[in-house]
Structure 1
């Protein structure tokens, strides 16, 4: 498992702490950011080159490839934050209620 950068760890702690304060601003999730990050993660895990550059040309093997080394932390952090925001905002509860109503 990759160790989290200390700056990101401190930032994560600060954000999670601020959301739980009484009278704090209600968090809003960004569903598009969550979907984009999940698509990036899927792209990174299915591409053959891991986004590395070709040793011969110095360019990426494919233009759509995403560098895993440069982007994995950002993508993971985005997915985690947006998922937490989705739960804290109450939107996930609404989606569950809608799904429960459709199953009956």
Structure 2
């Protein structure tokens, strides 16, 4: 039976990194879902924008980073796409804060 091999550090460290990434995706999803449920009750476009913004700010860049890295895209492409998603998330959150209802 072949053991797990990793590149970039000890196996425990790599596994801890993946657990952290998946935990942050899960927590961002829960928070976004709760904000969306608030939108359903109140029909406040600010809550809907906050839900989308938080999800786009936290979960989407991590998923894109994992997917593009797995597909072996260049690191600069992966970083640029993830940074663009973070920027979009920040813009959506700013809209949620400053937009009128």
| TM-score normalised by L of structure 1 | 0.32
Between structure 1 and structure 2, the one with the greater Rg is 1
| TM-score normalised by L of structure 2 | 0.32
Give the structure with the larger helix fraction. Answer: 2
